[in-house]
Structure 1
Amino acid sequence: MVDDVLIVVAVGILIVRQFQWRSAEPRRMLLLPLLLIAVGLVYLGFEVRGLQRADWLLVGELVLVAGTGTAMGCVTRFRRAGGLQYRLTGAGIVLWAVFLAIRIGSFALASVLGAQLLDATGLILVSFGVNRLAASLVVRHRIAHGGDKTLAYDQGSAGTRR
């Protein structure tokens, strides 16, 4: 129970961070998602013993959360303020709601099927990590290949250029 509360608080903090301007350092973008996935997999290693699984449901959830992460990367906004910065736009709120609906839906479906693995703490971490990894990869790609001509930038108080 304490683990779940800590994870919910940590995930909440990470979600809020997505809407704040951050430095766009491509190497650093992958650290947190990969760490979340690794910790989640270790956690799952301990939790999976004796639990009934629904592998198809697990794969389906991971594909869907990767899709929401990809969409989040696409709606990310950039600005130049002491270097390139990025943050999630207002559409990200809807995408986070979709992410949570996917997570709650897979938990509910797993409960009906008797597959306890989908409510495992490790899977919550892996699911969140996969979402963040997909978003980070899209943002990195946009930075590397978009250039000033195709990226939408906020110019601080000067308004928005598209």
Structure 2
Amino acid sequence: MAILKSTMQEQVAAAIAAIEPNDRPVTTFHTITGPSPWLMNELGLIGQLFVKYYFVTLTERVVVIHKAARMSNRPKELVHVIPLDQARASISDVRRNTLWSSLRFQLPGEPKPTRLNIGRYWRAEMDVFTAGLLGGGAAVPGQGQAPVANPYQTPSA
């Protein structure tokens, strides 16, 4: 049973290496689907019927989504492999909160974007993921960084 974040990330990296040995993971995070983790917690076991657990990994070429085992936190079967260009168009409504952050991601074959809830434990990885897809930093090696305006420079007339 994987408890440490590093152990879970190693297991996901091994699963990705098995399907694509030449691709390297940039960041991986654990996520829970569903409306709100707070609401699902209040509903107890009934609430667990409405959520799915995933590992989302940004690699140098694609976004890989694995199902996560509920009890052991190990990556299970591969669900989606999404090219970076398509993934950039699929992410929306990124909300960074104190305990539970969320974003919406359009999964292939789904009629509307799926809400992915990310716990505080994985927030740094979510930040790298969103920066890699939406810009704001060179999170993906080889990806050009957009020029940033210097806020201290006075505009030229």
TM range (shorter): under 0.3
TM-score, normalisation: structure 1: 0.24
Structure 1 or 2: more strand by fraction: 2
Name which structure has the greater RCO, CA cutoff 8 Å, separation 6+: 1
